[in-house]
Structures are given as C-alpha cells and as structure tokens.
C-alpha cells in the first residue's frame, strides 16, 4: 500500500526505547514445542559482520606490499594491537590463541558499530549472544587446559601455600569465581550496549518532542547536544567494550596455559 511504513522502521519510531531490541522472524523454520525456530535479524547482522570482516581482511592482505596502503596499515594496526594484548596476558605460549582472540575482537567490534547505524539492530544488546561468546571462551579454557595439563588443570581451584583446613572454604570460592566468569564477561558487554542504546533513543525523542512543543521548542538544542555527545560516547564504548572482551579473553586463556596459582 502506498505510504505504508516498513514494520522494522515503524518499531524504530515508537517512543518505547525497549522495542528496538525486539527480534523479528525473517525466515521461519518451524516450531519445537511452543518455541518458534527462525532466522532473525540478529542472525542476519551476525552473518553480515562475518562477511564484512572477511572482505576487509581479504582486501587488506591481498597486496602485502612492503609499503602498506591504508587498508593494509589499518589491518596491521588492529592485528599488532591485539597481538600485544595477548602476549602481555599469556606470554609467548599464547600465540596459538591469537586467531581466536582477534576474531572475537573484530566480531564484537563490528557488531557494536553496526548497532550505531540508525534503525540498525544492536546484536550485542542481547544477553544470549554475549553469553554464547563468553561460554565459547570458557569452554576453550577448560578443554585446552585439561588436554594440556590433565587433572593438574584443576589445581587452578586450589590456591598454593594455603593451610589445608582453609581449602574447604577457598576451593568452593575459587570454583564459583571461575563459573561466574562467563556471566560477568557477557553481562558487561550486554549491559553497556543495552543501556547506551536506551539512553540515546530517550534523548532523541526528547529532541523530537521539544522541537514540536511550541514555545518549549526553544529548549530543543540542549537534548540535541546531549544526544550528539552521547552518540560520540557510544562509539567510544563500542570500541572499548570490544577491547575489554578481548583482554579478558586473553587473561582467562592464560589459566589454560598456566593453571597453577
């Protein structure tokens, strides 16, 4: 129908800031019980992120010239930055984890930046996505740690030099601390993205509301300035949270290499 509004765009125009995080089925696959299985816009953005990262990497490394161009220089800066982060956290043995940490960093960064595009979907604002990434990291830590060190890996939960009577108290604390890692890693990213996008949408509606509020419209530059400042801050947060995720990943992977206290 002429003049109709696309449903996704209509959701973006609602004053409720929570509606921007709703999932929408693009290709339904059926149901398992009462749960619908579908390809959503969240999955679409994740595939798009992988495609963008792959394209940038291929273009940046296609020439491999001694005097790098802009794309090659940018790729080398990101790679060396993450390589230094991994080396500082894990030492020389951590080089084997560089592809994993670099991939996670780029994936989170691109998804965060996608979320800053107007009317786009912020994938990392969903806890199930960030928890899935965090669970992958902890899964690698446990599997690699057991494969490399055997049962000695579980010495991670037994602090050295502690009197035996205290171990009954400290070992459960260490286990709980380890289990809480994927929770804290995922919630940190999810909460920052969620809160930032809610705040941006609220301030944006203040601008629209004041602009059409008659004499009160004279005040609209204030929320407009705050919206611009908040948007700039969210771009910084998008990059910072990707770096924090990669750094904590490297720190956790160090336990798989050196499980002893």
Would the pLDDT of 2 be above 70? no
Highest mean pLDDT of the ranges 3-17, 31-45, 150-164: 31-45
pLDDT of residue 242: 95
Would the pLDDT of 15 be above 60? no
Rg value, the chain, Cα: 23
The predicted model gives 91-120 an average pLDDT of: 92
Interhelix angle 98-114/70-90, nearest 10 degrees: 120
pLDDT of residue 9: 45
pLDDT of residue 28: 82
CA neighbours closer than 13 Å in the CB half-sphere of residue 153: 18
Percent of the chain with pLDDT over 70: 86
> φ, ψ for residue 112 (rounded to 5)?
-60, -40
pLDDT of residue 237: 93
Would the pLDDT of 8 be above 90? no
CA distances (Å), origin 104, targets 2, 52, 125, 126, 134:
43, 14, 16, 16, 10
Q: What tokens does 154 get?
A: 């579980």
Q: Which residues contact 84 (CB under 8 A, 6 or more apart)?
A: none
Would the pLDDT of 3 be above 50? no
Output 86 or 69, whichever has higher pLDDT. Answer: 86
Per-domain boundaries in the chain:
80-257
> φ, ψ for residue 37 (rounded to 5)?
-105, 120
pLDDT of residue 216: 56
Could you tell me the pLDDT band of residue 214, with boundaries at 50, 70 and 90?
A: low
Helix ranges restricted to H, 6-163: 7-12, 41-61, 70-90, 98-114, 127-149
Would the pLDDT of 10 be above 50? no
pLDDT of residue 11: 43
Would the pLDDT of 78 be above 80? yes
pTM: 0.84
């Amino acid at each position: 129908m002429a003049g109709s509004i696309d449903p996704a765009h209509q959701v973006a125009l609602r004053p409720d800031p929570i509606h921007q995080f709703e999932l929408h089925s693009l290709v339904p696959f059926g149901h398992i019980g009462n749960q619908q299985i579908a390809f959503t816009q969240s999955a679409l953005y994740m595939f798009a992120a992988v495609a963008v990262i792959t394209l940038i990497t291929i273009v940046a490394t296609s020439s491999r010239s001694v005097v790098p161009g802009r794309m090659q220089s940018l790729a080398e800066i990101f790679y060396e930055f993450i390589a230094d982060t991994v080396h500082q956290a894990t030492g020389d043995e951590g080089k084997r984890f560089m592809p994993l940490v670099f991939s996670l960093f780029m994936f989170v960064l691109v998804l965060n930046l996608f979320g800053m595009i107007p009317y786009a979907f912020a994938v990392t604002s969903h806890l199930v996505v960030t928890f899935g990434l965090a669970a992958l990291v902890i899964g690698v830590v446990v599997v690699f740690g057991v494969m490399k060190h055997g049962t000695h890996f579980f010495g991670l939960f037994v602090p050295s030099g502690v009197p035996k009577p205290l171990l009954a108290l400290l070992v459960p604390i260490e286990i709980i601390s380890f289990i809480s890692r994927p929770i804290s890693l995922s919630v940190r990213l999810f909460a920052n993205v969620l809160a930032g996008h809610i705040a941006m949408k609220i301030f944006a509606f203040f601008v629209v509301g004041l602009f059409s509020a008659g004499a009160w419209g004279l005040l609209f530059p204030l929320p407009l300035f705050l919206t611009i400042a908040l948007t700039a801050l969210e771009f910084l947060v998008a990059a910072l949270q990707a770096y924090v995720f990669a750094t904590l990943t490297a720190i956790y992977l160090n336990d798989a290499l050196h499980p002893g206290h």
